[in-house]
Chains A and B, each alone.
Chain A
């Protein structure tokens, strides 16, 4: 059974600081997704990582994927209050030709303090 573990589960950080959220998974996959969820809201897609060594950046967020280590990271640079949300990673467990079926981590609650 695939396990997807995120850490930390809760992160309180000061504005302007940097930090990294980690996503480890227990089986082979070369497709990983990051989503953001605001309280009481749905999920918003942030990044799709489709190969080993993939790196994507959007604003203050940068995501990377190491399929050999079965590890993805979401790095936050110079945090601002608007980044406060819950961040989920999700691993695709189907072969690409069969579509996609995601297993989600438990989520990391990020609070950025002024």
Chain B
């Protein structure tokens, strides 16, 4: 089955720790995206990547980092510099251009 997988589903982090969220897709999509969703709000773009080895900051990139070494994978690291990281994180991918973005199941991150 083609799709997007994210792991873990739930993640707990202590203050001051870096954590990495995984996103993998087998849809052969060129573009991948990371969004953050806070309760009762829409999605905000953190980072996106249109091709391998290239990525751009979204609207709220501070405190986050990404890499795109393989077409299938776009991991997101939430660093200790992110002051309020508790949120629902969604990864998406698309062929690009006017194609709709397909979303993964999400990772819920909680800072203890």
Q: How far is the CA of A35 from the CA of B42 in the complex (A)?
A: 11
Judged by a CB distance under 8 angstroms, whether B21 is at the interface is no
Q: How far is the CB of B76 from chain A (nearest CB, A)?
A: 15
Q: How far is the CA of A106 from the CA of B41 in the complex (A)?
A: 5
- CB-CB under 8 A from B106, the residues of chain A are 41-42
The listed residue (A31, A50, A99, A106) touching B96 by CB distance below 8 A is A99
Q: How far is the CB of B15 from chain A (nearest CB, A)?
A: 25
**Given the contacts A31-B98, A97-B97, A99-B50, A104 and B103 also touching, CB distance less than 8 Å:** no
Q: How far is the CB of B28 from chain A (nearest CB, A)?
A: 15
Residue of B with least CB distance to A106: B42
Judged by a CB distance under 8 angstroms, whether B73 is at the interface is no
Q: How far is the CB of B1 from chain A (nearest CB, A)?
A: 15
Judged by a CB distance under 8 angstroms, whether B44 is at the interface is yes
Q: How far is the CA of A96 from the CA of B31 in the complex (A)?
A: 13
Range class of the A interface residue count: 20 to 34
* B44 close to A99 (CB less than 8 A): no
Q: How far is the CA of A105 from the CA of B43 in the complex (A)?
A: 8
Judged by a CB distance under 8 angstroms, whether A92 is at the interface is yes
Q: Which residues of A contact B (CB under 8 A)?
A: 4, 31, 33, 35, 41-45, 48, 50, 88, 90, 92, 96-107
Q: Which residues of B contact A (CB under 8 A)?
A: 31, 33, 35, 40-45, 48, 50, 58, 90, 92, 94, 96-106
Chosen A-B contacts, 15 in total, with CB atoms closer than 8 Å, are: A33-B101, A41-B106, A42-B90, A42-B104, A43-B92, A45-B100, A48-B99, A96-B97, A99-B50, A100-B98, A100-B101, A106-B42, A107-B40, A107-B41, A107-B42
